[in-house]
Structure 1
Amino acid sequence: DCDGTVDENAQPAIWYRDVDGDGYGDVDGAQVIQCTPPAGYSLLPTDCNDGDPAISPLAVEACNGIDDDCNGVPDFPVPGAGFEDDDQDGIADIGCGGGDCDDLDPFVGAGLPEVCNGSDDDCD
């Protein structure tokens, strides 16, 4: 508990400054090493924009040209231009102007064959 006495079980941790208060700190920002969490700090150094609480690894990706979910890929709708494509089928999410109406299923997207399975496989 870092109270000045020997505590064999207490291990200090690296805490990262969380400016926007979203629970994620900036790996390049201020850091402290101590046993207890200081106010305004986080153990998670994965915030790609610590000035905006709407941007963090748990954020939902929006079609706005910004990497909202900190996965390193903004959501451009043009194939080959770094667009968001969660299922890696080469078809951008329909919400960003692409033709993939289910970006979690690589067998669903505009131009793919329609299969008799009760689903809209070709997104028409």
Structure 2
Amino acid sequence: MFICRAAVGADPNWGSGDERDWFAAAQRAGDRILTEANPNLLIIIEGINWVGIPVDGLPHGRPTLAPARTLSHTLVSSGKLVYSAHFYGYTGPNHSGATGPGETHDPRYQDLTASSCTRCCAGRRSS
């Protein structure tokens, strides 16, 4: 498994050609796995979850798999590619870490707070 670690100022990107190009890294890794390790494997390429600094006033966003619409992979073995969105369902697709609708402080997420979970599960016992 190849993991592109998060670091401020070192966001992964999709197709820029620099050392943080997740598109190119995934292409190289997928081709290498299929040619050198096992041609029968499926190659799962996950999209990018965050870019920028998720604070109001600074550029940021959640591209997930949107870049694959215009720049997609072609592996050495066709039919072996699976795209996966890097997405956490509890935050919603527009959650960016800043303020506004769809953020974790949004009232729609109040049922995910610790006190709500405690009230919900207080009478349950694990088996």
Would you call these one fold, judging by a TM-score over 0.5?
A: no
The structure having more radius of gyration, on CA atoms, is: 1
Q: TM-score range by the shorter chain?
A: under 0.3
Question: Which structure is higher in RCO with an 8 Å CA cutoff and minimum separation 6?
Answer: 2
**Of Structure 1 and Structure 2, which has the larger fraction of its residues in helix?**
2
Output the TM-score relative to the length of structure 1.
0.26
Output the TM-score relative to the length of structure 2.
0.25
